[in-house]
Amino acid sequence: MTLFYGTELTSRLMLGTAQYPSPEILSDAVRRAGAGVVTVSLRREAAGSRAGQAFWALIRGLDVPVLPNTAGCHTVREAVTTAQMAREVFGTDWIKLEVIGESDTLQPDMFALVEAARILTEDGFKVFPYMTEDLVGAERLLRAGCEVLMPWGAPIGSGKGLNNLFGLRALRAHFPDVPMVVDAGIGVPSHAAQAMELGYDAVLINTAVAKAGNPAEMARAFAMAVEAGRMAYIADPMEERDMAVPSTPVIGQAVL
């Protein structure tokens, strides 16, 4: 199993905790997924309020490692402040760093992301940056102290799957030893399997499970897809061909 900042997870499936119909359905989905990590937004937690404390008690009861995030932040200052507050609330130096640069696509602002990552790593955080599949940006994030990268598959909540296969393949090939998680845009289990077949170390799913007709069953489906995709990657899949190749050799057949 890949190590994330020295920690070995129990599963390559990470699960978000927003948008579920009820706390009970959320709990059931996390258990059915066998999730290795759950992500939690500080704004969702609403620190200090009664509702927030109840939600945090629910998350603690799941007994799954927590990855707080800076969802909804648009500036370096806002992201850094949110991360510092999250460390106090959740008692972890792990942070999924989001700095949004464009409102329609929720595309990360790579310039601000690198700066925020530098500030947070210097402050002792273990940063999981939500990024595009940009090779130069990835290099800058690693130089800033990040040891994990989280490229998007497609815009958050879009369900479009892996929009830029070339970019994701190039990123994986360019940094073969860096733990990487495909985050955002995955809509169905086949998308998750595809990400794992590319050699990614994990996937993060939220909307596709939370908004499913049966979140618990969808969570289980994603868990199975992640496992299948990883097994396929390890098994070294055949390469695509432009021409047909007969699976049964013609040598030795009778000539009529």
Q: Which residues contribute to the annotated binding site for 1-deoxy-D-xylulose 5-phosphate?
A: 157, 184-185, 206-207
| Residue 96 among the catalytic residues | yes
Q: Please, are residues 108 and 132 in contact by the beta-carbon 8 Å criterion?
A: yes
Give Rg (Cα) of the chain. 20
Q: Which two tokens stand for residue 221?
A: 């489906």
- Tally the C-alpha atoms within 13 A of residue 251's C-alpha that lie toward its C-beta: 0
For residue 104, which amino acid is it?
Answer: D
Residue stretches of the annotated binding site: 157, 184-185, 206-207
All residues at 6 or more sequence positions from 83 whose CB lies less than 8 Å from its CB, including other chains: 68, 70, 95, 97, 116, 120, 125
* Dihedral pair phi/psi, residue 146, rounded to 5°: -70, 140
How far is Cα 66 from Cα 68, in angstroms, rounded to an integer?
6
Q: Which two tokens stand for residue 86?
A: 């999250």
User: Considering 96, 126, 160, 211, which one is annotated as catalytic?
Assistant: 96
The residues assigned a catalytic role are 96
